Structure 1
């Protein structure tokens, strides 16, 4: 586009360049005896796929948590070598669940997964986005449809690493709709660095505020106009000021 706690289309492949090490995929199952209405823990099991090194299944005695996510003003989105878009993401929100990592309880590290049905990221429109100090043209619209939002939050250090995957739908009125761009990255409170785009986030503070950044590579789509206009393949960067609140489930 700071916080406590900026899906695969056949025509697009995105490779992310987070600064965390190369990760391997493991499957983790969460379970809880809590009667909370939290979407992840009120059901018998939730299956979470998350890329991690030495990821362990949380103990059945581990506490469960409710996690809320909100996006704020003064975010930025950049693509290719164009100047960044100034983006007001206020109003974005989502809820999810967290559980302590079995081998890391002393460090207060949680595995978290957000419910996609509750996750909303405001579109880029003339009312939310400016380019070179001017609002986007009224007919231009970029919708963001999240496909994955999950990862790790360290309550002690404030470090956040959240895998984020989304489709970006570009349209110009009713006369032009481009194939969706698939963006896949890790939104991190640390540094995210690509070849031409990079940014540094801020860890969660006591108020739950943080800045999450993520650089990603965007491959061409089956649309000559979009490929030419954006210079695909290229890189994009998101900087999201956010608020993440974590509370123990009852």
Structure 2
């Protein structure tokens, strides 16, 4: 079943059917989809494995929003309950001309428009209790791009961000760099794992990603988190695609 996108009308949500076989993800430095990599061989974005569509391809406007009831986990600690409501970003999409039959879009979000709520006592709980009020974790997105299949609803988005831990004015850790692929499929490491949900006709999906976090130049943080280790993100999201040309 195809997807209807009309450039002259407001954003149109797509109706999907799960026709493509689910794939499993492998964790090296970051988890990713093997089929996603295989589709990205001809023209490459600088420093990535992602295919860049032809400039003649039809373009789209894509909006991204994060919702409530998300999870973040690191090391062997229990997962954090995370309310990411209010997160947002805008980007552009273009048809992958080599995969027109697959109804696939290459999507790239502008990091300047991306906002992901902080982990604070008002957004995050650990073991059912709010984080201590002095503890704060900022998330600074650096890269957010990948593929969305309009037919099946499969989403694979490369995500790279810095996580900044602070404890009041007395402690500020060096940035933790996290790289993963947020996918609607399964993401599985040796310690953490999660399964997403594909984009539905309302634009809702769940994106998951397991990443390896390397040690940083900070003995306290390395010891506390047991770096190197794995982290997990589960984000309930809304993705809206509208035609622009």
Which TM class, normalised by the smaller chain length? 0.7 to 0.9
**Per-residue Cα deviation, 1:188-241 (whole angstroms, up to 9, x for no partner):** 000000000000000000000000000000011110100010010100000000
Which residue matches 1:32? none
Q: What's 1:135 paired with?
A: 130
Corresponding residue for 2:49? 51
Alignment partners' CA distance in 1, 2:162 and 2:42: 24
Matches within 5 A, 1:1-250: 15-20=29-34, 23=37, 28=43, 50-52=48-50, 55=51, 57-58=53-54, 60=56, 62-250=57-245
**Whole-angstrom CA distance in 1 between matches of 2:99 and 2:29:** 29
Distance 1:28 1:67, change over 3 A: farther
Matched position secondary structure for 1:158: coil
| Alpha-carbon distance in 2 for matches of 1:209, 1:172 | 34
Query: 1:57, CA displacement in angstroms?
Result: 3.5
Take 1:178 and 1:26, find their aligned partners in 2: how far apart are those partners? Answer: 38
Q: Relative contact order: is structure 1 or structure 2 higher (C-alpha 8 Å, sep ≥ 6)?
A: 1
Cα shift at 1:18? 2.7
Give the TM-score of the pair, scaled to structure 2.
Answer: 0.84
Secondary structure of the 1:157 match is coil
Q: Contact 1:76/1:85 (CA < 8 Å) preserved in 2?
A: yes
Q: TM-score, normalised by structure 1?
A: 0.82
Note the residue ranges of structure 2 that are not aligned, 5 or more in a row. 1-12, 15-27
Q: Report how far residue 51 of structure 1 moved.
A: 1.7
Over residues 76-105 of structure 1, what are the superposed CA-to-partner deviations in whole Å (9 max), with x where a residue is unaligned? Answer: 000000000000000000000000001111
C-alpha distance after superposition, 1:172-199 (max 9, x if no partner):
0000000010000000000000000000
- Decide whether the 8 Å contact of 2:58 with 2:95 is kept in 1: yes
Within 2, Cα distance between the matches of 1:245 and 1:50? 24
Task: Give the Å deviation of 1:58.
Answer: 2.7
Q: CA deviation at 1:49?
A: 5.7
Structure 1 residues 79-134: Cα deviation after superposition (integer angstroms, max 9, x where no partner)? 00000000000000000000000111122100000011110000100000000000
Q: Does the aligned pair in 2 maintain the 1:50–1:151 contact within 8 Å?
A: no
Q: How many residues align?
A: 219
Structure 1 segments (4+ residues) deviating >6 Å: none
Q: Which structure 1 residue ranges, 5 or more long, are not aligned?
A: 6-13, 30-46
Distance (Å, rounded) in 2 between the aligned partners of 1:15 and 1:187: 14
> Whole-Å Cα distance in 2 between the matches of residues 215 and 229 of structure 1?
19
Over aligned residues, Cα RMSD in angstroms? 2.1
SS in 2 for 1:51: coil
